[in-house]
């Protein structure tokens, strides 16, 4: 661990948009799926590093609701890599006391991917270290829409007074489950783009945003520490005045 990091100000929840696998591969004359494979290797190191740094929740944007628009071969390759990751990294996840969770609508995923995820969730459910959340078939607008529909049903049935509706009522109906997970303190995006791309729009309302111009396969534990260092240099005011 880099000694310049303040161990008392490690973000409780870090979320990452892992962007740039395809462009990384293209620049090297490789297939896009080879870029995703390199990205999986990077992810393995980041999960281990985040756990060792004391991060309580790490959420990664693995597959969005919009990613179905990509070529069928690439989509299939991504899910094959997911299956391989779940199977090959299970022992290490348990060794690091990491618990796996999933955000998104998983019913649409290929059967083998759902089975591998189910095994990972079951095998790590008693771990009480870092929570590793994988956003799969996830879209924040879809997440909020489903929460609104659920609220509408409760209002219609007389279980909820709309005048008494609170932000917590909405949060509890999101994939993150309200208070089960703290909102992200830090959202990192690689690949040079500077947008959230429909990722944790509700939960990330006050997250610090850090963008990196490198592609995801190039993102190392040292880069993660640099992002945390930048986070620690900021004054988080939540709409109030500076305490400095």
Region at 200 (left for phi over 0; alpha for psi -120 to 50; beta for the rest): left
pLDDT score at 234:
92
* Known active-site residue 127: no
Q: One of 6, 21, 67, 226 is an active-site residue; which one?
A: 67
Residue identified by tokens 């756990």 is 51
Domain map of the chain by residue range?
Answer: 9-139+183-232
pLDDT score at 236:
78
pLDDT score at 92:
93
pLDDT in tens, the chain (244 residues): 445 899 999 999 999 999 999 999 999 999 999 999 999 999 999 999 999 999 999 999 999 999 999 889 889 989 998 888 888 999 999 999 999 999 999 999 999 999 999 999 999 999 999 999 999 999 999 999 999 999 999 999 999 999 999 999 999 999 998 667 889 999 999 999 999 999 999 999 999 999 999 999 999 999 999 999 999 999 876 665 566 5
pLDDT score at 1:
43
pLDDT score at 238:
63
Angle at 51 between CA 135 and CA 181, to 5 degrees: 50
Cα(171)–Cα(30) distance, integer angstroms = 42
* Known active-site residue 19: yes
CATH code for the structural domain at 9-139+183-232: 3.40.1180.10
Q: One of 19, 96, 183, 185 is an active-site residue; which one?
A: 19
Reported pTM: 0.92
């Amino acid at each position: 661990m880099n000694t310049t990091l303040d161990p008392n100000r490690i973000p409780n929840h870090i979320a990452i948009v892992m962007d740039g696998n395809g462009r990384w591969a293209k620049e090297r004359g490789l297939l896009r799926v080879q870029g995703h494979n390199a990205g999986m290797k990077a992810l393995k190191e980041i999960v281990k590093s985040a756990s060792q740094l004391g991060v309580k929740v790490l959420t990664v944007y693995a597959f969005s609701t919009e990613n179905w628009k990509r070529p069928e071969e690439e989509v299939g390759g991504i899910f094959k890599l997911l299956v391989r990751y779940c199977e090959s990294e299970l022992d290490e996840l348990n060794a690091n006391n990491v618990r796996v969770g999933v955000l998104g609508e998983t019913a649409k995923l290929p059967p083998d991917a759902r089975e591998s995820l189910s095994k990972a969730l079951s095998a790590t459910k008693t771990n009480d270290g870092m929570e590793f959340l994988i956003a799969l078939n996830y879209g924040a607008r879809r997440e909020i829409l489903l929460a609104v529909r659920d609220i509408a049903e409760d209002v219609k049935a007389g279980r909820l007074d709309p005048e008494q509706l609170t932000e917590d009522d909405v949060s509890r109906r999101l994939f993150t489950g309200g208070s089960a997970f703290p909102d992200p303190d830090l959202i990192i995006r690689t690949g040079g783009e500077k947008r959230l791309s429909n990722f944790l729009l509700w939960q990330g309302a006050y997250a610090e945003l850090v963008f990196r111009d490198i592609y995801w396969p190039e993102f190392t534990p040292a880069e993660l520490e640099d992002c945390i260092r930048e986070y620690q240099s900021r004054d988080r005011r939540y709409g109030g005045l500076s305490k400095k």
